[in-house]
Structure 1
Amino acid sequence: MIILKEDKCLIEKYIKGESQAIEELVKRYINSLYHLSYSLTHEKNSAEELFQETWIKVIENIETYNHRNHFKPWLYTICINTYRDKYRKEKRWLGRVKDYFTNQEKEYVINNYTLSIPMEDIVEKKEQEKIIKNYIKILEDKYRLPIILFYFQEMTYQEIAELLKLPMGTVKSRLNTAKKKLRKMMEVNDDEGKRTRKGTW
């Protein structure tokens, strides 16, 4: 509730002509929105472009924001819709997140319990993280978006359902399917790795 009031106050100040208020709002969500942008595009330049375009649309439509609702879901809706409109067909998956956000990279890794991967099966953590991130990239959007929002943005099933305009049951189903797909890809990778190591001896 405190966050809602603070966001509402900043928005009201901006509408009244206090331009610096939007800068404060951007600062509040710079990490989370850039993280979402990069999670969607997986390419530095595209992420920065999506981040900027999202804020442009926020400013252009700020007066349509419903002050009774939380700002974050509204912001994410604009970001995701912008991505769908412009980036979905481009599939530019190369590049790395810029240094300022490297502390966010850890959030790309779904914990081992979630993926049902036994801890003893993980030999090299960084390599495992890289593999998981690469597999998340290639998931279909309908599975990748719930994964990103649930695990990386810590949104609830209800919030994701409202954001993506899906029944809650569909959100849960897609999350389960996404985890199964990731688990299967990890198992295939592990089998291939074992065969490769065996062949080197």
Structure 2
Amino acid sequence: MIQNIFKIKLLSDELLVRKFQETQNLDFLGQLYERYMHLVYGVCLKYLKNKEEAQDAVMGIFEKLNKEIPGKEINDFKPWLYVVAKNYCLMHLRKEQSTKKKSAEYEKTELFFMENEDDVHPTNNWEPDELDSRLKDCLEKLKDRQRSCIELFYFKELCYKEISEKLTLDIKKVKSYIQNGKRNLKNCMESKA
């Protein structure tokens, strides 16, 4: 076993690639990757600018190689690996930017403004004592999930994601409970006016 590992370490990059393609034996790929892991980590750190993300990317790239190498013609492994690592990081950054863009677009939507407009909050024109008793009564009349989401969003000032995690609900459900709860709360408060 030790002799086999020693023999594998002596093989050239090209031979390790070919042996892996022929046998799918991860020892060959592992040895090949071990030689250049520091290069891959450096590339990932350069592009991602975050140690943990770079470490995760190193593992992701190894998994990608396991799938891609068998079907590729690779003449010079090191430069090919550099390009694979760079492209992997760029795709990761694009995906991250896309997620941020979608989040920013959501914040511009009507629903976001609806959640934050003052006139949606029916409590703005009442005296504090009167407001407290009406609000408590109306909150008690809401369905449990609606009440929980409303309390966490408005009184505990948690964001949708935090509420979703705390109540183990899908984020869309949280938004729906808040929107419907707000409407029901407003109707209740107005009926007591």
Q: Same fold (TM over 0.5)?
A: no
Which is bigger in relative contact order (C-alpha 8 A, separation at least 6)?
Answer: 1
* TM-score grouping bracket, smaller chain normalisation: 0.3 to 0.5
Q: Which has the larger radius of gyration?
A: 2
TM-score normalised to structure 2 length? 0.40
TM-score normalised to structure 1 length? 0.39
